[in-house]
Amino acid sequence: MTLGTLIVRNLRRHTFRVTLTALGIATVILAFNLIVTTVRAWYASVEASVPNRLISRHAASLSIHLPLAYRDRIATLNGVTGVTYANWFGGVYRDAKSFFPQFAVEPASFLDLHAELSVTEEKRQAFLSDRRGCVIGCRLAALYGWKVGDVIALKGTIYPGD
117 and 58 within one domain: yes
Q: Is the pLDDT confidence value at 160 over 80?
A: no
116 and 38 within one domain: no
124 and 76 within one domain: yes
Mean pLDDT of the chain: 88
**Beta strand residue intervals within the chain, DSSP E:** 86-88, 103-105
The model's pTM is 0.63
pLDDT digits (tens, 9 = 90+) for 145-156: 998 888 888 888
139 and 120 within one domain: yes
88 and 13 within one domain: no
78 and 152 within one domain: yes
102 and 33 within one domain: no
Q: pLDDT category, 48, cuts 50, 70, 90?
A: confident
105 and 37 within one domain: no
74 and 24 within one domain: no
**Domain housing 104:** 53-162
What's the domain count of the chain?
A: 2
58 and 39 within one domain: no
pLDDT digits (tens, 9 = 90+) for 93-134: 887 787 888 888 899 999 998 888 888 899 899 999 988 888
Give every CB contact of residue 140 below 8 A, 6+ residues apart in sequence.
100, 146
